[in-house]
Amino acid sequence: MYFSFSSLLPACIHSIASSPPSLSQGTCGCDHTPLDRAFNIATSVPYVAVGVKMLRNRETDAGRALGGAMAIAGASAIIYHASWGESFRSWTRKLDYYSIAVASTAMSYALFPTMPAMIRPLSYATTPFAPFKVSFVHGSLMELKFAQRAYKNKALRLSHRKHALTTAAGLACFTYECYKPESKYVHGAWHILSGIAAAQLDTLVADVERTEWRVSTPRGKGTERDVTQREGGGVITPPEGWSPATVTMSTPRPTENNNISNHNYHQNHHGAGRLPYSDSQATLSNAAVSSRSISPKMHSGFGPHTPPQLTRLEEVLN
């Protein structure tokens, strides 16, 4: 299941260019009563919450841009449903549609690292004339991407099922409202269902960041993001200041001639009643230590030729 933007670009341009005027301008028959209006305002808040969560959790600039755009789209919906007056509501409705189109464009940028640069300016330029179609095209690409990633990654399948079911139910509400604009609370139900569907995008974007953007470590406060060169990799960052080329042992390295001194050390420090430190154990420890470079921090506090500690060090290193 593979597709590329080069093959979909002509269809995207045709679909955006053929947008119906009624959908381009943005019309809606909701907010019939004060209770219906309050319900629509309240159900717009989850969009902002989802956007803020993505803005805080995502590892790439594209992922955080999507979170910010989604939060702005939720705020625009709140402004629209809280507005009044035919003229003013006409402008706020357009703002609502435009913000959704911008967020959908940002979504494609986060999900497709190889997206051609011309797609974004083309989408932004078309948004004032066909916001619904811009959102539809990028939303369709997202659905294909989600299905593709869920097919490859079993961990995404539950999230994809939630997304697919809530998206289908939300589209049913949206379609019903188009035919029955006088219906109450249907628009708010669409808000709830589409909000649940949008919340699943955080999992999808995280998977794309790990596998295609190749972000390998969680973003932390004051830390840099590490990027690996292999699919879905996990880079292990060495301790700060550690350099395998420059680290050496701070004490003389044991050799095979040290077996007698190892034996004497064991008897002096642990008593003659215990078994002596055997030649095979000393040779094993010598080989383990000589085959590795030990950080000064790891070796600080160890006396020279300390067989029990060397044995413990061998276990830790292995």
Q: What is the mean pLDDT of each run of 10 residues along the chain (318 residues)?
A: 40 43 53 94 96 94 96 96 90 94 96 92 94 94 96 95 96 90 92 96 95 66 36 43 45 48 49 47 47 44 52 57
Provide the pLDDT for residue 30: 83
Residue 170: per-residue pLDDT:
94
What is residue 29's predicted lDDT score, i.e. its pLDDT? 65
Q: How far apart are CA 34 and CA 155, in angstroms?
A: 43
| Residue 70 · residue 51 · CB < 8 Å | yes
Q: Look at residue 123 in the predicted model and tell me its pLDDT.
A: 95
Domain layout of the chain by residue ranges = 5-211, 256-317
Q: Which two tokens stand for residue 168?
A: 């289908």
User: Residue 302: what pLDDT?
Assistant: 46
The whole-angstrom separation of Cα 37 and Cα 30 is 8
pTM of the predicted model, to two decimals?
A: 0.62
- pLDDT value of position 231: 36
User: Residue 126: is it exposed, middle or buried by C-beta count within 10 angstroms (0-12/13-18/19+)?
Assistant: buried
**Confidence at residue 315, expressed as pLDDT on a 0 to 100 scale:** 60
- What pLDDT was estimated at residue 178? 86
Q: What is the dihedral of CA 3, 7, 10, 13, to 10 degrees?
A: 30
pLDDT score for 85: 87
